[in-house]
Amino acid sequence: MRAASRREAMETSSHYHCSASTITRGQGRGIVAAAAYRAGQRITDLRTGLRHDYTRKHGVLHSEIVAPAGAPPWAYDRAALWNQAERAEDASTRHATAKTGREFRLAFAHQLTAEERIVCAREFAQYLVDTYGVVVDFSIHAPDKDGDQRNFHAHVLTSTRVMTDAGFGGKVRVLDSPKTSGKHIEAIRAKWAEIENAAYVRAGIDLHVDHRSYERRGEEKDATVHLGPKASGLERHGHGSARGDRNRAAREANAEREALKAERARLGEQMKAEEAARQRRAEAKAERAAMRTHDPAIILDAITEQRSTFTEGELRARLGRTISDQAERDRIVRAVMRRPELVGLAEARGGKIVRYTTMKVLRHEAAGLAAAASLTRDRRHGVSARTRTAVMERGQFGSISPEQYAAYTSATGPEGLAVVAGEAGTGKSYTMAAIRQAYEAEGNRVVGLSFTNKVIQDLKRDGFGEVRTITGALQDLAKGRAGWNGRTVLMVDEAAMLSTRDMVNLLTHAHEARAKVVLVGDDKQLASAFQRGGLFGAIRAQDQTPVSELSEVRRIKDAAPDAVQQRGAFNAMHEGRFREALGTFDALGSIHWCGTREDAREALAMQYAKDVAERPGHRRFAFTHSNADALAVNQALRAVHRQRGELGVDHLLRSNEGLFAFATGDRIQFTGSAYHKTAREAGLANGVVGSIRTIEGARVTVELDGKKGEPGRMLSFAVGDDAQAGQFNAFRHGYAGTVYKGQGATVDDAYRLHSGTERAATSYVGATRHAENLHLFVSREALPANTSWNAQQAGSRRWTSASGSGRSLPTRRGRKPTRPVGSVTTSPPMSVMCSSNGRRRKPTPPSLTNSPARWAAQRRTAPPRSSYPLPCHPHRPRRRMALRRATAR
């Protein structure tokens, strides 16, 4: 309760105060009187004979003296200390106006405990002692009884002279000189901000303070001023003050600016959405137009716009969408294959060309790899060992595994780029939380980025204070609405889903701003669906990139059936050994053969109904390959809950997919994102799932899924197609959905309807969403029982990029690998080779104009792995189910 209230309260608060002043005789002030008042004690000033008695002062919570090692014992006696400080100035040539002490006033967040405030003040005092050699006397005060009851603060008194083992020595001139005092005070203020931020992280308070002015931060705001005791007293008694009037005017001006800023943001989001829609229409139109031109050069550009590589069969299929004449298609294919910019790709020297790319694609990927290499060489982003340890000592990370800790240490290293490559279900989000908190503890601005709004919602739920989609962040940079710098840390979740264009732009902007980038993902899972991608795997393959790998599956619960074997199956699928993995699931009875696709859907619904009856508290979801299958499965599973009496009265709601019945208790999934940014940030985003709580006319209230055991956030929307007016119609029932929308999700029970036409990445993601049970439904109609699964996936392995597959060799079509066309150099090498004993050799960076001898040295000795074969049919001998490699059709 206490921790939750502290987090909630601090989400909307922001403060920072660290002011410095001097205590001088010329002002009629004395350090003895100041010390007595701050500590609430009675001390006699031996120089003047005055006795300062503040023992009746209330609100002094703690007082403490911190002195350098070796200081005399009297340095810890408050009366003796400050009388000695006065006496040391009597010999000064300017003794009448001498500075006898300095004071720093510090503000605390009121949510900090008394012990946490003492720790912060003590750390600040020790910093002053270590840096300047002075004695520090600090006192922590409670808020005044008539003032703001959140105003916990500290008064920190320091001597103006260094303390030696013989007593006070020389003056600390760097804090007196106009030439040096400014930068030292700035450093002291920065240190207090660092101490505060570290304390908030330790305490789990969602707050970050910045010692810089609004102007230096680039924010258009009017600063407020500290009221002080006199102005505070006037304000408390209802009398105005000049400083109070100034603060009120500043707040009004800032409120007006925020309103204008929100309006500009709304208009910007509106323009952004319209521009994105126009761009999608333009891209589709451009592809159709390119095919109709019958121009081989234009067609080649169009086909590589969405994929880095392609096969001759894929080219023919794309042409078939717009060109019906078979002879003309054949002519265009032959012309495209003769283009000088075409580069063939083979898996081994002398091997058959399996895919093609272009010099343009290779140049684009090379630019991203060069930016990644430059970021890696920037070694200014390390987190101190002390901060790393402090983050790990929190209870939140008590279960961190050795490999997660290694990833945490690597990602918080000094390099400007780090990669966390985690297999499905290995706790990447948990590791990201530790990395984020470590950088935030040292005062960095951490921004969570991803390709989809659903992952953005997950990042926000996991504690990221600032999140953006990659598209939105890059557009903000291009239009000057945001900026990154050397204190910015960009953490990209599901980084393997980024297109090459977005990845190159991200890395280029980060390199220019000297920001740090942490890429988190799995290149064996789904990549970009709309533009060519796969650069994550190429970046990971670079030798200089700090890469951490997570392979210990933590998603599968210990209570799951054969948990150890299921975890091994996850690993096997990641490595391409799908037959072994599915053998495990087959032994568990998780694979269900059916006659037709309709039979498979019916079997799925029957299994779902059985599981709901046995384990009603489990989270469950059905994953399909197509939206059409998702629609049919949704209706079947909804009928299960209707028969159980778990749904309310039906209301007909018109979504963008048609008119459907929804009721209280129904599961709902959003298939698009809201028009307005505020609604998207609230959770109205593509892929988000929840449960309907109320339906009142056209207004639907939904409880979004949160972490298990925690209540979800509530949101409501009006059903309609007027997006600009705030209406929303991109939704469907949320019992089933596509694998693409489910990437990153975790459920207790997963149901998988196999289509028979899936690639390895889709199969891998769809079979690794469960924490306990997986049920896989396959029809002989879609996948004959005597056909191996890998044969249905048309290819022995996955190609996601032209230069980063780690296995590819550019060749001239129809010949042995030789000097490719063009003169572009790519880094890292397109082929990471192994010596005969299987140990990795130092790769040779190939220029695309390398000699044939060098290309011959780059070969992969291991054969390509097959992808996702089914185990044998339970009623057929295994020897009759020999695995066959896919052949070209």
Render pLDDT for 373-397 as a digit per residue (tens, 0 to 9).
Answer: 999 999 999 999 999 999 998 878 8
Torsion of CA 765, 766, 768, 770, to 10 degrees: 140
Q: Determine the average pLDDT of the residues in 4-25.
A: 63
Q: Determine the average pLDDT of the residues in 730-749.
A: 88
- The whole-angstrom separation of Cα 208 and Cα 436 is 13
Q: Determine the average pLDDT of the residues in 125-143.
A: 95
Q: Is the pLDDT confidence value at 245 over 90?
A: no
Mean pLDDT lowest among 438-447, 646-655, 716-725: 716-725
Q: Residue 492: pLDDT band by 50, 70, 90 thresholds?
A: very high
Q: Is the pLDDT confidence value at 2 over 60?
A: no
Give the closest residue to 185 by CA, choosing from 169, 172, 174. Answer: 174
- Look up residue 41 and give its amino acid: Q
Looking at residue 216, its pLDDT comes to 65
Residue 678 vs residue 587, higher pLDDT = 587
- The whole-angstrom separation of Cα 794 and Cα 654 is 39
Phi, psi angle pair for 864, to nearest 5°:
-65, 145
Contacts 24+ apart (CB under 8 A), 33-41: 34/101, 34/103, 34/157, 35/78, 35/81, 35/82, 35/101, 35/137, 35/157, 36/78, 38/63, 38/137, 38/139, 38/141, 38/155, 38/157, 39/63, 39/78, 39/137, 39/139, 40/139, 41/78, 41/79
Q: Residue 117: pLDDT band by 50, 70, 90 thresholds?
A: very high
* Alpha-carbon dihedral sign for residues 505, 509, 514, 516: negative
Do 576 and 865 touch, CB atoms closer than 8 A?
yes
Q: Residue 232: pLDDT band by 50, 70, 90 thresholds?
A: low
Residue 758 vs residue 698, higher pLDDT = 698
Q: Is the pLDDT confidence value at 882 over 50?
A: no
Q: Determine the average pLDDT of the residues in 409-420.
A: 95
Looking at residue 857, its pLDDT comes to 32
Under DSSP, the state recorded for 724 is G
State the pTM of this model.
0.57
Q: Residue 102: pLDDT band by 50, 70, 90 thresholds?
A: very high
Render pLDDT for 284-308 as a digit per residue (tens, 0 to 9).
Answer: 666 677 777 788 888 888 888 877 8
Q: Is the pLDDT confidence value at 880 over 60?
A: no
Render pLDDT for 30-44 as a digit per residue (tens, 0 to 9).
Answer: 999 999 999 999 999
- The whole-angstrom separation of Cα 645 and Cα 33 is 77
Q: Is the pLDDT confidence value at 437 over 80?
A: yes
Looking at residue 488, its pLDDT comes to 95
Q: What value does the mean pLDDT of the chain take?
A: 80
What is the token pair recorded at 42? 């009675």
CB within 8 Å of 345: residues ≥ 6 apart: 309, 353, 354, 355, 356, 357, 799, 802, 808, 809, 810, 811
Looking at residue 229, its pLDDT comes to 62
Q: Is the pLDDT confidence value at 851 over 60?
A: no
Cis peptide before 877, with omega less than 30 degrees from 0? no
Q: Is 140 helix (H, G, I), strand (E, B) or coil?
A: strand
Torsion of CA 596, 599, 600, 601, to 10 degrees: 130
Q: Is the pLDDT confidence value at 439 over 90?
A: yes
Render pLDDT for 188-202 as a digit per residue (tens, 0 to 9).
Answer: 999 999 999 888 878
Q: Is the pLDDT confidence value at 813 over 60?
A: no
Looking at residue 832, its pLDDT comes to 25
What is the token pair recorded at 145? 């009884």
Q: What DSSP assignment string belongs to 369-403?
A: HHHHHHHHH-B--PPPHHHHHHHHTSGGGTT--HH
Torsion of CA 749, 755, 759, 763, to 10 degrees: 10
- Look up residue 791 and give its amino acid: A
What is the token pair recorded at 370? 């060069």
Q: Residue 266: pLDDT band by 50, 70, 90 thresholds?
A: low
